Structure 1
Amino acid sequence: MARSLVISAPASGIGKTTLTLALARAYRDRGLKVKCFKIGPDYIDPAFHAAATGRTSVNLDSWAMPREAIEALASRSADADLVLAEGSMGLFDGVTAPGVSGTGATADIAEMMSWPLLLVIDPSGQAQTAAAVAAGLRDFRAAVRVAGVVLNRVASARHEDLVRRALADAGIAVFGALPRHAAITLPTRHLGLVQAEEQVEVDGVIAEAARFVTEHVDLHAVLQSAACVSTTPRAAPGLNVKPPGQRIALARDAAFSFVYPHMLEGWRAAGAEIMTFSPLADQGPDDSADVCWLPGGYPELHAGRLAANSRFRRALQSFAETRPVHGECGGYMVLGTTLTDANGARHEMTRLLGLETSFAQRRMHLGYRLAELALPMPGHRVGARLRGHEFHYSTIVSQPDAPLAVVRDATGAVITETGSRRGYTTGTFFHLIAEDR
């Protein structure tokens, strides 16, 4: 029977990820089996969770997934001693129009699973007001239970005392207070944290975070505040994660790494074989594969190298003459004609699609997407309704090919990023999470 907690905050950038990693490693060091989840559409944090726990972390998303699928994914913690589910954005932040089982807010999952909340509160520039913020979060939604708080970035002992007293008056438990500590700062870039696999020092950073949190947080009190939940592992009905083929050539390196773990697990569970290759190492897809998939990532940081890797480009072009190739976001851009980087340099891509994109004038595209396919793509028929999420800073210069889908945002408004199809090649700017039933 696992104890379970959701780690959330009033906003992004408060310290949820750092605290999640520190607690996960600290409890693992004490012999507990720890399982992490990521609430919401994030493909970077789960890799950090895996580095901290030694176990795969998957996403739980109330906008894109039905309740029974979320419960089935959560049931994979049956052999764990402790579940830590890291929230996204602020506790109640989601979209205005509900999706399959909610708005995508962290609070949806906390309520659905009856998991109590550990709030991270940053009282910088505040004192007693921090208690008002915590009390507001506690009282905003009756079915969401706050177990207590950890204060982050406290300025001094006096500052900590003022905040602790106010929280005690509000009836909110304080499990610890963390002073600022530069040694556990994780590097970031334009789409979030620098990926775990790119940081050779990531294990040391997590270890230092665990040591630091152990020194300042009452680990016993945190553990005792977690809810005891009995789960039995079961399949995930309704998630509709269909493999795009039987033998899947998957691009996988620092330029192509944004893959939701539940997608790969779903493909394998359906009997598919995944064969990875590295475009950055000038490798092409295995010729025995029957489909090639290029996930998102950071091709804009490696555009010159990808353009120079002629063996990769020729192999992919040859593959696409007879078999399906699909790209998501960054992968989609590499399937196009050119990619202009942030410095204005124009790089030739694989030319399987007519798409031209540019980072020279960055503009953020962020949000849930619901796509109805006008043309087929690997694993999905015409008319299929696909739920996903888009997050990038590129601008479309030209998109001349046949539109792949009618794509709407979470409000139902039609957007211009339709995806494309040419021959056997397809691509989308959104990352697929699940297909509607």
Structure 2
Amino acid sequence: MPAGLVISAPASGVGKTTLTLALARAWRNRGLHVQCFKSGPDYIDPAFHAAATGRASVNVDSWAMDRGTIAHLVGRGTDADVVLAEGSMGLFDGVAARGVSGTGATADIAEMLGWPVLLVIDPSGQAQTAAAIAAGLRDYRAGVRLAGVVLNRVASPRHEDLVRRALNDAGIAVFGALPRHAEISLPKRHLGLVQAEEQAEIGKLIDEAARFVAEHVDLDAVLGSAASWSPQPAANGMNVTPPGQRIALARDAAFSFIYPHMLEAWRAAGAEISIFSPLADEAPDASADVCWLPGGYPELHAGKIAANARFRSGLRAFADTRPVHGECGGYMVLGTALTDADGIRHEMTGLLGLETSFAKRRMHLGYRLAALAAPMPGHQVGARLRGHEFHYSTIVAQPDTPLAVVHDATGAVIAETGSRRGLATGTFFHLIAEDR
């Protein structure tokens, strides 16, 4: 029977991902089968999980998904020995208004699955106060159980002793304390961690993290704190309609942001996926009946995309007779032009009139609920789509027919409506699920 555990923290940036990867690899090195999940709309971390465990990881999200969908997704952990759900932001951080089954907080997933929470606490600049924070998180919400704490970035043995004593007085188990260790720091860029597939040495980094954590953390005690878990049969699956029978999917360093569960749901529904690389100047498969451009980092490769004539002409020819859809970065590439961070304007494919700029960065972040005013691949007029938007571009022009009426998680209407022109459509949000 699998043992389930949620890894969370008081805030972002304290080491959740590093600890998750280290524990997963350390237990895998002991011969255990480890399954990871990511709570929340982060599409980068699952690839790191897969690198550590050798098993595909997916997102579970209480704002966008119902309980049946979450149960279906976590069911892949049935044959594992250990199941780890890595949280996002702080343990109770979500949106103000409840979504499908919760607010998107990691605590929702912990309570829903009945898994205890392993807290990562960074006590930098404090000592006993770290225990007060941990105790507050333990007592904040009935139904969320605390397994214990791993301290990260402790400054000295004396510092560790002060924090350990305070946590012991509060009745909170300390499974280990990690000194600062630059060798296991994961590189970052403006949308989060540099992606796993872009890091040639990611295997060595995870191995070092596993060695370091095994040296300073009681792995047996952590494993013993996890809850025995009997997955409940899911009443239904993903209920996702693929955008087509044969999907040409852009996939390279500029087009890599798509939720793994969406690809799995498309395949499970019988769709075939044909991969092509715009950066390698490849055109979509001529035998496909739909083309999908995910998000990613087109702003870092805008010059190359603009120069790749075979890709641009091939995509335009495809769009003459078949649907093309772009999400976020893919939407920008379907547009007329993209201005990069240096102020250089690059012509894009021109299938839509959208023009965006990174010259003046402006963060767009949050859940999105879209009611389609026009059809897009896989979804008809009136469909209610749930997704998440995260980018730093500014809209210079968005002149085409709006694709949807889009609200944020509070219900406020936002200007990023998406667009439709001919058979081309695009949205700034990444699709997570459709309301049933």
Q: What is the TM-score when the length of structure 2 is the normalising length? A: 0.99
- Is residue 2:198 matched to residue 1:207? no
Partner of 2:107: 107
C-alpha separation in 2, matches of 1:233 and 1:144: 22
1:240 deviates by 2.9
* Residue 323 of structure 1: aligned partner: 322
The answer on whether the counterparts of 1:303 and 1:347 sit within 8 Å (CA) in structure 2 is yes
Q: C-alpha separation between the residues in 1 aligned to 2:168 and 2:236?
A: 42
3-state secondary structure, aligned to 1:69? helix
**Which residue pairs with 1:3 in the alignment?**
3
Q: Tell me the residue number matched to 2:173.
A: 173
Flag structure 1 segments of 5+ consecutive residues without an equivalent. none
Alpha-carbon distance in structure 2 between the residues aligned to 1:30 and 1:308: 49
In structure 2, what is the Cα distance between the partners aligned to 1:359 and 1:44?
A: 21
Q: Which residue pairs with 1:348 in the alignment? A: 347
Q: Which amino acid aligns with 1:311?
A: R
Judge conservation of contact 2:358–2:394 (CA < 8 Å) in 1. yes
| Whole-angstrom CA distance in 1 between matches of 2:191 and 2:221 | 35
Distance (Å, rounded) in 2 between the aligned partners of 1:365 and 1:81: 39
Question: Which SS does the other structure have where 1:279 is aligned?
Answer: coil
| Cα deviations by residue, 1:270-310 (Å, 9 ceiling, x for unpaired) | 00000000000000100000000000000000000000000
**Shift in Å, 1:232:** 6.0
Question: What's 1:360 paired with?
Answer: 359
Give the aligned partner of residue 250 of structure 2: 251
Query: What is the aligned partner in structure 2 of residue 404 from structure 1?
Result: 403
Q: How many angstroms does 1:235 deviate by?
A: 7.0
- Residue-by-residue CA offset, 1:190-238 (whole Å, 9 max, x unaligned): 000000000001111000000000000000000000000022665743x
Shift of 1:24: 0.4
Supply the AA of the counterpart residue of 2:311: F
Hey, what's the Cα distance between the residues in 2 that align with 1:397 and 1:241?
33
The aligned runs of 1:92-131 (5 Å cut-off) are: 92-131=92-131
Aligned to 2:261: 262
Match of 2:54 in 1: 54
Aligned to 1:282: 281
State the alpha-carbon separation in 2 of the partners of residues 45 and 328 from structure 1. 19
Aligned with 1:281: secondary structure?
A: coil
Instruction: Check whether the contact 1:78–1:232 (CA below 8 A) recurs between aligned residues.
Output: no
Residue pairs, 1:37-186, within 5 angstroms: 37-186=37-186
2:260 counterpart letter in structure 1:
P
Q: Percent identity?
A: 81
CA distance in 1, matches of 2:236, 2:90: 27
In the alignment, the residues of structure 1 paired with residue 234 and residue 159 of structure 2 have an alpha-carbon distance, to the nearest angstrom, of 48
Q: CA deviation at 1:173?
A: 0.1
Quote the residue 2:313 is aligned against: 314
Distance in 2, matches of 1:85 and 1:218, equals 19
Distance 1:28 1:229 in 2: 19
Q: Give the distance between the partners of 1:242 and 1:186, measured in 2 at CA.
A: 36
Task: Provide the C-alpha distance between the structure 2 equivalents of 1:320 and 1:265, rounded to a whole number of angstroms.
Answer: 25
Q: What is the Cα deviation at residue 332 of structure 1? A: 0.2
Q: Deviations over 1:105-162 (max 9, x none)?
A: 0000000100100000000000000000000000000110000000000000000000
Contact map agreement 1:78 1:233 (CA 8 A) in 2:
no
* 1:21 to 2:24 alignment: no
Task: Give, in whole Å, the separation in 1 of the partners of 2:188 and 2:239.
Answer: 33
Q: Distance in 1 between matches of 2:147 and 2:234?
A: 28
- Mapped to 1, the partners of 2:71 and 2:138 lie a distance apart of 24
CA RMSD of aligned residues (A): 0.8
Question: Aligned to 1:59, what secondary structure does the other structure show?
Answer: strand
CA distance in 2, matches of 1:201, 1:366: 30
For 1:42, give the aligned amino acid: D
Q: How many residues get paired?
A: 436
1:421 positional shift: 0.3
Separation of aligned partners in 1, 2:278 and 2:267: 22
Give yes or no for contact 2:69–2:234 (8 Å, CA) kept in 1.
no
Residues 260, 433 of structure 1: 8 Å contact kept? yes
Distance (Å, rounded) in 2 between the aligned partners of 1:249 and 1:236: 27
Residue number in structure 2 paired with 1:433: 432
**What's the offset of the Cα at 1:360?**
0.2
Aligned to 1:418: 417
- For residues 382-437 of structure 1, give each alpha carbon's deviation from its aligned partner in whole angstroms, at most 9, with x where no partner exists: 00000000000000000010000000000000000000000000000000001101
Moved beyond 6 Å, runs of 4+: none
2:300 pairs with 1:292: no
Render the CA deviation track for 1:145-194: whole Å, top value 9, x for unaligned: 00000000000000000000000000000000000000000100000000
Task: Name the CA distance, whole Å, in 1 between partners of 2:177 and 2:324.
Answer: 50
Partner of 1:242: 241
The answer for the alignment partner of 1:193 in structure 2 is 193
Where 2:279 maps in the other structure, the secondary structure is helix
Query: TM-score when scaled to structure 1?
Result: 0.99
CA distance in structure 2 between the aligned counterparts of 1:413 and 1:320, rounded to whole angstroms = 33
